Amino acid sequence: MSRFFKHAMDESAVTASLARTLAIFPMSAGRLVRPRAGEHTYHVLLNGAGGWLDVFDCSGTLADFDGYADWSVVGRHTQRLNNKTPPPFIPKLEPEAVLAGTSPLFACRITRLACGGSVMGCTFTHCIGDGASGASRSWLLCAPQG
């Protein structure tokens, strides 16, 4: 999922609110562990290893991305609609790395736009559930208002 903002994001406030949110959702800060012999399911090691948060600069502006609602991003597969290819606002979690326990289960990217606006893109692995919207709402409650 991604959200567009007309203003620059306070990266330190985002980092702090993400840390508070991951404390509420510890599975998102853990790593997937392969089943042992005789077991049939993966489990999450609640080791507090954290998620990814990276920051990128983009020469584009909000106006350049008008019509972003026409883009459909589903996991690693991006549908190209209306001859538009979306920029990489949403980080990718590689399934092989997630299953090997070497990748976080949550990732977020802040993209700073040339106009002063921002885009925040987040993704969760579906190995731990389908709670992206629930965690996002909780993150918004942890974030400073203003």
For residue range 22-47, list pLDDT tens digits in order.
888 888 889 999 888 888 888 899 99
Check residue 116 and give its pLDDT: 92
| C-alpha gyration radius of the chain | 16
| Three-class DSSP category at 81 | strand
pLDDT (tens digit per residue) in 74-119 = 333 344 444 455 567 888 888 899 989 999 998 989 989 889 988 8
135: containing domain: 2-142
* Confidence band of 8 (pLDDT split at 50, 70, 90): very high
Dist. CA 64–CA 52, nearest whole Å: 27
pLDDT (tens digit per residue) in 46-85 = 998 888 898 988 888 888 876 554 443 433 334 444 445 5
Check residue 138 and give its pLDDT: 58
Catalogue the E-assigned strands of the chain.
2-5, 31-33, 43-45, 52-58, 72-74, 77-79, 106-113, 118-124
Domain total for the chain?
Answer: 1
State the CATH number of the domain containing residue 65: 3.30.559.10
**pTM confidence score:** 0.72
Neighbouring CB atoms inside 10 A of 113's CB total: 21
